[in-house]
């Protein structure tokens, strides 16, 4: 059970949530949603003492490895530093034995610290207060801090802690590391060096411990242990009743992917890493934590979003979202993307999907454009793999991988998935072959970023090339249908993954058309204004011929139009498929319940959708469809959409808001916030849902504030959920930071920028300088 109202201090009101009861059968949820990190690395919040069923994960962004030829590359699970084996009077401490009172595990989002505390009574009747603290430094990104406080309450105890660096881990069985080298320096500093088996990324991990008894430093002589894939220390001491023993453990993680060590060799990294550990150890938990707190306070200033509401959960939810966005994003390195589960679990192997460009990038475009640029540069570096994928499939240009890892890896989607309940065989995952809309999603994101920021340098270096080469892919992908005299895109999966091998998915066709439209527009613009840049791109990409092909084909691409009932067919057959009563599945407690009754093959033959598809098209290409068409389609498709993907609810919420159905928009927003943070204790076992977390921000800023970039203009269309009296958020537009405050009848925007700004509010164009006040 989670508690959303735990208030440690007044300043932490709506900044924390907690687990109030330990349940060894529900470990995954808090491990994921309370995970810590700093974009460089992510640490799943497994409890310190071990339990069966736990998943201990430490991921360092970008360190992908392939276990063997038949597997795809994934983020390797690095050695663990969090496990502590604790013994009281010679017996192992475990919450599964004895009894526990005052239990709480709290994630403090404001300071990014995890605190677990309780009083435990051993089966022998010894009562002990335990407090465990942990953070992954945002200030020194290689550092992990842990602190344990142990106070016996009714008699002296013999206390032992075994702690170290444990590499006896895998990714659900796949072992990504060679055995490596282990060493203990000065009976204090533990060092483990390991290299990934295929990508040959070196990991250097360190740990050290220090103790205080009643506030005074004590030297405890350790028993040292080095074994297979493991290096550990065992410390023992007596603690008198009422006295407190404090153990601090400082660990560091470095890898040869770190830009700072590029080309420097392992010896240099090893020495620098050991030196950083020694310095961090000398600073100690409290000083390191203080610096980390300062770094987080800058984060909260930067993203200063606020919801004035009677529903404190809403405020907590947006803070939770921003916390996880910061923790998962490799803002420091443009060779890295964002995983579909961030860095919080093994789900989706650390791979990046369209989740980034469509659900997360808008957050960065409008709050930290430089991070949005870095994420797009990751896709630019991915052109090599995308061109390879196009060639391998018999196409031209750049065909982006459905799942991406290291930029040059190309397609990394696994081929086999869950069981088919009819045949008992593993289901084939087709998305790596035929879910192709990712290519135009990336092109769309380039355009969105450019229009919102005006970053011409990005376009000159990367953006035009991405738009042109993706358009070339689509031009080569189109299939001429002689009988209909038009181009089709057959045999795809659209956003709705419950329809495989379909022809003319509307989303895919419209987005491919849009991608080519952008390429033609920018080609012509460059030809007229920047011929020298165009010449150099022409030489690199063979554009002269490509432009002719784009313009020849674009007018003949089949764009499914609304039928007599205003319904845009999701694909060539969707509207002809059987409909079934979906009530039971719409009310499901756990997503995917449909598969208890049907196989994927059967589901493909029903009018049932996994996630927003046509609705996503309306959201992205808003101007191309009338309000009547959008409404009619919403009414048609929403009852058939099970929201079995976490990418669905936020889009439906935004659309419902656009139609003026604020109650429904709010209801869908609430459901979106509950995907990870809600009370379902199994929803996040494999990791948090990054896209849904980006979607929470989108619901507020693009939904309730109605922020949209349309034809290069910034629109705001504010509307307030009933339970809110106002909300505030920062918004970057063309390099200027705007502070936006919406109340029920006013809109206030202030900026320190000197430029005159133009916005479209509820359809009216308004120019302002420094401050704008609008009464509704």
Q: Could you give the residue numbers annotated as active site?
A: 497
Closest CA to 522 of 441, 443, 476, 468: 468
**Cβ at position 692, least distance to ligand IFM in Å:** 8
- Kindly state whether residue 709 participates in binding ligand IFM, applying the rule CB under 6 A: no
Helix (H, G, I), strand (E, B) or coil at 119: strand
- Kindly state whether residue 340 participates in binding ligand IFM, applying the rule CB under 6 A: yes
Specify the residue, 614 or 691, whose C-beta has the smaller distance to ligand IFM.
691
Q: Which of residues 390-449 bind ligand IFM (CB under 6 A)?
A: none
**Cβ at position 284, least distance to ligand IFM in Å:** 40
- Kindly state whether residue 75 participates in binding ligand IFM, applying the rule CB under 6 A: no
Phi/psi of residue 34, nearest 5 degrees: -100, 15
**Cβ at position 673, least distance to ligand IFM in Å:** 17
As a whole number of angstroms, the distance between CA 341 and CA 352 comes to: 9
- Kindly state whether residue 570 participates in binding ligand IFM, applying the rule CB under 6 A: no
Euclidean distance between the first and final Cα of the chain, in Å?
Answer: 42
**Cβ at position 610, least distance to ligand IFM in Å:** 7
As a whole number of angstroms, the distance between CA 119 and CA 121 comes to: 7
- Kindly state whether residue 647 participates in binding ligand IFM, applying the rule CB under 6 A: yes
Specify the residue, 687 or 718, whose C-beta has the smaller distance to ligand IFM.
687
Specify the residue, 347 or 703, whose C-beta has the smaller distance to ligand IFM.
347
As a whole number of angstroms, the distance between CA 36 and CA 567 comes to: 45
Specify the residue, 455 or 497, whose C-beta has the smaller distance to ligand IFM.
497
Phi/psi of residue 483, nearest 5 degrees: -65, -35
Specify the residue, 557 or 691, whose C-beta has the smaller distance to ligand IFM.
691
Kindly indicate which of the ranges 64-72, 353-361, 379-387, 747-755 contains the residues binding ligand IFM, using the contact rule CB under 6 A.
Answer: 353-361
**Cβ at position 354, least distance to ligand IFM in Å:** 6
Task: Count residues near ligand IFM (CB under 6 A).
Answer: 10
The H or E element spanning position 161 is: strand 157-166
Closest CA to 31 of 20, 14, 43: 43
- Kindly state whether residue 353 participates in binding ligand IFM, applying the rule CB under 6 A: yes
Kindly indicate which of the ranges 351-359, 387-395, 721-729, 765-773 contains the residues binding ligand IFM, using the contact rule CB under 6 A.
Answer: 351-359
Kindly indicate which of the ranges 31-39, 250-258, 308-316, 350-358 contains the residues binding ligand IFM, using the contact rule CB under 6 A.
Answer: 350-358
- Kindly state whether residue 677 participates in binding ligand IFM, applying the rule CB under 6 A: no
Specify the residue, 177 or 348, whose C-beta has the smaller distance to ligand IFM.
348
- Kindly state whether residue 656 participates in binding ligand IFM, applying the rule CB under 6 A: no
Choice from 691, 702, 707, 740 touching ligand IFM (CB under 6 A): 691
Helix (H, G, I), strand (E, B) or coil at 719: coil
As a whole number of angstroms, the distance between CA 617 and CA 652 comes to: 11
CA angle, 286 then 292 then 298, to 5°: 140
Going through 40-153 in order, the beta strands assigned E by DSSP cover 41-43, 58-60, 84-88, 91-92, 99-108, 113-121, 127-136, 143-152
**Cβ at position 26, least distance to ligand IFM in Å:** 23
* Strand pairing class (245-255; 143-152): antiparallel
The H or E element spanning position 615 is: helix 614-620
Closest CA to 523 of 505, 541, 511, 509: 541
As a whole number of angstroms, the distance between CA 134 and CA 148 comes to: 9
- Kindly state whether residue 354 participates in binding ligand IFM, applying the rule CB under 6 A: yes
**Cβ at position 690, least distance to ligand IFM in Å:** 7
Choice from 35, 210, 645, 683 touching ligand IFM (CB under 6 A): 645
**Cβ at position 483, least distance to ligand IFM in Å:** 32
Kindly indicate which of the ranges 226-234, 318-326, 352-360, 760-768 contains the residues binding ligand IFM, using the contact rule CB under 6 A.
Answer: 352-360
Specify the residue, 256 or 690, whose C-beta has the smaller distance to ligand IFM.
690
**Cβ at position 61, least distance to ligand IFM in Å:** 17
User: What Rg, from alpha-carbon coordinates, does the chain have?
Assistant: 27
As a whole number of angstroms, the distance between CA 5 and CA 15 comes to: 9
- Cβ atoms of residues 116 and 105 within 8 Å: yes
Q: Which of residues 496-515 bind ligand IFM (CB under 6 A)?
A: 497
CB within 8 A of 216, min separation 6: which ones? none
Specify the residue, 155 or 417, whose C-beta has the smaller distance to ligand IFM.
417
- Cβ atoms of residues 150 and 120 within 8 Å: no
- Kindly state whether residue 355 participates in binding ligand IFM, applying the rule CB under 6 A: yes
Specify the residue, 497 or 500, whose C-beta has the smaller distance to ligand IFM.
497
Binding site for ligand IFM (CB under 6 A): 340, 348, 353-355, 495, 497, 645, 647, 691
């Amino acid at each position: 059970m989670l508690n959303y109202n735990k208030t440690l201090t007044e300043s932490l009101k709506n900044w924390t949530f907690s687990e109030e009861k330990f349940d060894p059968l529900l470990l995954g949820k808090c491990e994921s949603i309370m995970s810590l990190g700093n974009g460089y690395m992510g640490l799943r919040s497994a409890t310190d003492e071990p339990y069966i069923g736990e998943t201990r994960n430490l991921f360092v962004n970008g360190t992908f490895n392939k276990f063997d030829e038949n597997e795809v590359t994934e983020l390797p699970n690095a050695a663990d530093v969090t496990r502590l084996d604790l013994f009281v009077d010679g017996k192992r401490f475990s919450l599964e034995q004895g009894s526990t009172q005052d239990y709480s595990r709290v994630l403090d989002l404001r300071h990014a610290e995890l605190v677990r505390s309780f009083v435990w009574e051993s089966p022998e009747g010894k009562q002990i207060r335990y407090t465990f603290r942990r953070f992954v430094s945002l200030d020194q990104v290689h550092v992990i801090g842990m602190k344990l406080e142990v106070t016996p309450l009714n008699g002296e105890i013999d206390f032992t802690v075994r702690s170290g660096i444990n590499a006896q881990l895998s990714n659900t069985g796949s072992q990504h590391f060679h055995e490596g080298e282990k060493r203990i320096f000065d009976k204090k500093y533990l060092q483990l060096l390991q290299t990934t088996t295929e990508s040959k990324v070196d990991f250097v991990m360190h740990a050290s411990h220090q103790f205080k008894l009643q506030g005074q430093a004590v030297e405890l002589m350790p028993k040292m242990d080095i074994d297979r894939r493991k290096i550990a220390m065992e410390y023992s001491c007596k603690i008198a009743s009422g006295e407190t023993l404090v153990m601090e453990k400082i660990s560091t993680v470095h890898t040869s992917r770190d830009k700072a060590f590029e080309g420097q060799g392992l010896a240099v990294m090893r020495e620098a890493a050991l030196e950083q550990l020694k310095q961090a150890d000398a600073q100690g938990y409290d000083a390191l934590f203080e610096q980390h707190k300062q770094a987080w306070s800058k984060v909260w200033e930067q993203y200063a979003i606020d919801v004035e509401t009677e529903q404190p959960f809403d405020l907590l939810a947006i803070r939770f979202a921003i916390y996880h966005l910061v923790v998962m994003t490799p803002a420091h390195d443009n060779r890295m993307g964002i995983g579909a589960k961030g860095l919080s679990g093994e789900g989706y192997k650390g791979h990046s999907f369209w989740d980034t460009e469509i659900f997360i990038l808008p957050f960065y475009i409008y709050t930290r454009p430089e991070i949005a640029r870095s994420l797009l540069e990751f896709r630019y570096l991915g052109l090599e793999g995308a061109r390879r994928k196009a060639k391998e499939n018999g196409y031209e240009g750049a065909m982006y991988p459905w799942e991406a890892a290291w930029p040059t890896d190309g397609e990394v989607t696994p081929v086999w998935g869950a069981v088919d309940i009819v045949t008992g065989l593993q289901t084939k995952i087709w998305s790596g072959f035929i879910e192709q809309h990712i290519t135009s999603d990336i092109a769309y994101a380039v355009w969105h970023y450019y229009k919102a920021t005006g970053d011409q340098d990005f376009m000159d270096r990367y953006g035009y090339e991405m738009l042109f080469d993706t358009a070339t892919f689509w031009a080569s992908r189109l299939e001429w249908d002689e009988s209909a005299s038009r181009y089709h895109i057959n045999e795809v999966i659209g956003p709705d993954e419950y329809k495989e091998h379909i022809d003319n998915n509307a989303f895919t066709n419209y987005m491919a058309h849009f991608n080519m439209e952008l390429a033609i527009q920018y080609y012509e613009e460059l030809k007229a204004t920047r011929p020298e840049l165009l010449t150099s791109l022409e030489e690199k990409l063979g554009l002269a011929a490509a432009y002719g092909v784009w313009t020849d084909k674009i007018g003949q691409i089949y764009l499914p139009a609304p039928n007599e009932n205003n319904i845009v067919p999701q694909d060539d057959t969707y509207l002809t498929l059987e409909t079934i009563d979906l009530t039971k599945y719409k009310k499901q407690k756990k997503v995917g319940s449909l598969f208890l009754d049907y196989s994927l093959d059967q589901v493909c033959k029903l009018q049932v959708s996994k996630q927003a598809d046509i609705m996503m098209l309306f959201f992205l290409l808003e101007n191309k469809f009338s309000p009547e068409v959008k409404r009619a389609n919403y009414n048609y498709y929403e009852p058939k959409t099970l929201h079995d993907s976490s990418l669905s609810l936020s889009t439906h919420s935004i659309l419902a808001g656009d139609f003026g159905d604020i109650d429904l928009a709010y209801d869908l927003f609430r459901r979106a916030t509950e995907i990870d943070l809600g009370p379902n204790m199994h929803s996040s076992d494999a990791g948090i849902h990054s896209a849904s977390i980006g979607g929470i921000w989108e619901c507020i800023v693009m939904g309730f504030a109605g922020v949209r970039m349309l034809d290069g203009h910034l629109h705001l269309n504010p509307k307030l959920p009933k339970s809110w009296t106002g909300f505030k958020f920062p918004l970057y537009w063309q390099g200027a930071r705007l502070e936006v405050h919406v109340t029920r009848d006013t809109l206030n925007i202030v900026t320190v920028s000197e430029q005159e700004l133009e916005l479209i509010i509820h359809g009216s164009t308004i120019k302002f300088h420094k401050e704008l006040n609008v009464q509704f």
